Structure 1
């Protein structure tokens, strides 16, 4: 993997030096990518920037008496742009990977790479070893949560998140490939014809109301996609359980031992 500045600009991200922001992190980063609406292909002019990644704690933080910072999170405004940065220690992240957790895999495999290392490439190469039929449960559950949010708020954003989750799950069950970008999914999976117009409408405001949506028709579309996801899961050739535990364990150990000799702190450490 590599950092593609052209791809980052094409995703609608604001003109911010994201790498410089990450360089302020206290521990070396294994990777950092952009998630959220920019990854999903429907950012708004006022969308926040969701940065997600993995930091590597020194071994002493895990074997000593102090509680380790396995998850670090901070939100702030940068030149009137809301920034949201969340990183997990590598061990916690890998444990999440070994669960049917599509969210962390989307972060790992995001093409919107801000910071990368050779171990990031290794970790991404092991992603297929943790994909299972049970990842359908993740996307089914996430879609349900977002649909209820749409029903409560009437906003366009959670409705698009609902469709995106269902289409990602269907595509994953059918192909074994994780695609989080809604415009790309519309071209690969049979999807409601209204989606391109809804994606275009969301560009105006992050929390805009879904005035143009026929709620009854949307409910029928969502129910139909749930049925398609159920069938895709039943027919999927994905494994029943992850197979990459040993290889992932080895990667975590090597990264942890390597962190003992990394210079100083910050995102610039070479893993």
Structure 2
């Protein structure tokens, strides 16, 4: 499966790394996607490829009295930042409406997937979505980045995107009651009216996409004012957002067992036929 958003050489390197992980860790990767600025639509020329994946061990791995590590992490190398979660960890996080997991499952850039398994997992996203939990997550992200990078007379301009996107995500959740789209352009086109603020954001976006290094420079007052107003607003609004639409607890064990059977029965059948 070739993805048109990814350089062919990089895509091949990602596939090589994912296959290496399967061999070295004795796992099957169910789903792998892009999760960072490339998926959001505002990469720099030197942006890392933030590859995130879900995987399963064979059934006997889970039958242990000992707690076992449920993440796989690789050191950043050649612009590849590759990390994954065990399926059991991911399904537990559905109970908390974990926004990174929900975002991975709707990424526009997919590097690998077992379609039936990925679709079954993705089917939990809607029922598991909690407007309150996700709003708190995005608000925390925006508040932290704003505090750390954007309050001086000079600021790290690229950090504006890491404050604006989560704040716009809060606005999307409030308006539509659903998980926000990954694409930054969709957020600004849908949520912001034409005017000085939108023009300032679009100019900054063009500079970032063109490869211009956004280093320390004077703060952009119209954006700072918007950010401060929105953070104050969502600090008051987030506690009053609705919680889960429905519980997915009774679906987690059956889905987990179904995926294990499907993936490893298929693997063993292929091995036997060879």
Give the shorter-chain TM-score range.
Answer: 0.7 to 0.9
* Structure ranking higher in helix proportion: 2
Structure 2, unpaired ranges of 5+: 269-274
Q: CA deviation at 1:235?
A: 8.0
Tell me the distance in 2 between the aligned counterparts of 1:183 and 1:95. 31
- 2:128 is aligned with 1:130: yes
Question: Any conservation in 2 of the 1:139–1:166 contact (CA below 8 Å)?
Answer: yes
Structure 1 residue corresponding to 2:259, chosen from 235, 255, 261: 255
TM-score by length of 1: 0.82
Contact 1:155 1:207 in 2 (8 A): no
Residue 229 of structure 1 and its aligned partner are, at CA, apart by: 4.2
Question: Alpha-carbon deviations, 1:93-132, whole Å to 9, x = none?
Answer: 1212221421111111112111112111121122010111
Higher Cα Rg, which structure: 2
Which sits farther off after the overlay, 97-106 or 205-214? 205-214
Partner of 2:44, secondary structure, is coil
TM score, norm. by length of structure 2 = 0.81
* Large movers: runs of 4+ above 4 Å: 12-15, 204-207, 227-236
What's the counterpart of residue 99 of structure 1? Answer: 96
Query: Quick check: 1:46–1:206 contact (8 Å CA) kept in 2?
Result: no
User: Unaligned regions of 5+ residues in structure 1, if any?
Assistant: 265-271
Structure with more contact order per residue of length (Cα contacts < 8 Å, sep ≥ 6) = 1
RMSD: 2.8
Find the aligned partners of 2:146 and 2:209 in 1 and give their Cα distance.
20
Q: Quote the Cα distance in structure 2 between the aligned partners of 1:14 and 1:172.
A: 37
Distance 1:206 1:61, change over 3 A: farther
